[in-house]
Structure formats: C-alpha cells, structure tokens
Structure 1
Amino acid sequence: MAPRLKCMTVGPPVFDTRIAHTAPKRADPFYLSREWRQLMRHLVEMRGSVCQACGRTNTRLFGDHIIELKDGGAKLDPANIQLLCGSCHTKKTARARAARMAVRHTR
C-alpha cells in the first residue's frame, strides 16, 4: 500500500493581531511652535470658542487649514484657518484626503 500524502493548509498563516500596535501619532513640530500657538490663542479670542462648522461649544477646538498645507495653503494666514471641533475636523480632513487621492488616481 502506498503512503498517503499529508494535506497542505490552504491560505495564508493566521497572525495574532492582539499583539500588533500602531505607532503613536506624533504632532508635526510646526503645530507645537510659538507662532502657531499664539495664532490659535488670537483666533479663539477673536472668533470665540465655537466650532465654525457646526456651532458646537465647550469642546476642544482644532486650528484647521482651509486649504491644507499639502495642497499649498498658507501656514500662518488667519484667513486660511478655521476653528473646528474634533468631529468636524476629522470629517473635513478625511474629505480633503479622499479628494487628494482621487486626483492621484485619475492621472
């Protein structure tokens, strides 16, 4: 009688993803600079502590570049910066990133 062949496993090996950790997010040094912090304080004083997209108050505000730096926006121009709550900032950044990727894929 001929020896039987062992069955091979099908598919990629299974990895334990519970031990995988993403690298901690690091802020761009520009956003820790004295100039950026002074500008943010000035904008909050002038515009109030309110999200300029949804009107939410009593929340952390982010200085968001209307035209993102990656797209050629001015770093310290108050006309290019809006104050957004975390939700609005995340949505706006995701839309801008998706638009940037769409342009890359159409070339």
Structure 2
Amino acid sequence: MARLVTLCPRLSTLDTRTARPAPKQADPELLTPEHKAWRQEVLKRAGWKCQAPGCTAHGRRGGVRLYADHIIERRDGGAPLDPANGQALCAKHHSEKTARARAARMGS
C-alpha cells in the first residue's frame, strides 16, 4: 500500500514583526485649516452626537470618537467645505456608510 507523504508548504508565512506595512498618509486636503474649521462646525451643529438613526454615541464627554462625514462623498461630487454636506457619525456608522458608498461606486 502506498504511503501518503506530506509536502512542505511552498509559501512561507509573513513575519509581521519584521515586515511592517507602509505608514498611513493622510489626505493633505484633510489637514488644511479650512477643513478643520468645517469639521468643528459639523460636530458642533450635531451637538457632538452621532447622527445615525437610533445611535446614542456621544463625543466629548461620552468618550466616543466622532467623524465629520461628507453626506455626498468628495469623490462623488460632494461639496468639500459645505456644512450642509456634513454629518457627525461614530466609527461604526462611518465605516458602514463609507463601505456602502464604495460598493455603490464600484457597481456592486
């Protein structure tokens, strides 16, 4: 009867202790004083609370990080510095909204 021999794997695993990913680079447009003022205005107008329906996340004293999100994303033609195109979202809802917009943009 033939004996089954295990082959050594041809691909080695990546050692993340020595292979570091490239550092994240912020979009230079997001670092401008105009964008920072827009962000403050959007968050202040929202009362430092997530604006997603049913969400109770609160920034400032609540300790939750809030994102000033463009309702119509900049790459989809949204006004970059119009406060009417901004909403405050917690990390969970910001990620979900961004993923939906990306999927729609990709045609999925």
2:61 equivalent to 1:56: no
Check whether the contact 2:70–2:86 (CA below 8 A) recurs between aligned residues. Answer: yes
Give the deviation of 1:16 after TM superposition: 2.2
Q: Which runs of 5+ in 2 are unaligned?
A: 1-6
| Corresponding residue of 2:30 | 31
Farther-moved stretch of structure 1 (40-49 vs 91-100):
40-49
Q: What RMSD in Å do the two structures reach over aligned CA positions? A: 2.0
Number of aligned positions between the proteins: 94
**What does 1:1-107 align with in structure 2 at a 5 Å threshold?**
13-19=10-16, 20-53=19-52, 54-57=55-58, 58=62, 59-102=64-107
Question: C-alpha distance in 2, partners of 1:30/1:37?
Answer: 10
Letter in 2 for 1:97: R
Give the deviation of 1:18 after TM superposition: 2.2
Aligned identity (percent) is 48
What TM-score, normalized by structure 1, do the two folds share? 0.76
Would you tell me which structure has more helix in proportion to its own residues?
A: 1
What TM-score, normalized by structure 2, do the two folds share? 0.75
Letter in 1 for 2:100: R
Give the deviation of 1:13 after TM superposition: 2.6
Structure 1 or 2, whichever has the larger Rg, is: 1
Regions of 4+ moved over 4 Å: none
- What are the superposed Cα offsets for residues 71-102 of structure 1, whole Å, 9 maximum, x if unpaired? 11110011111111111101111111111111
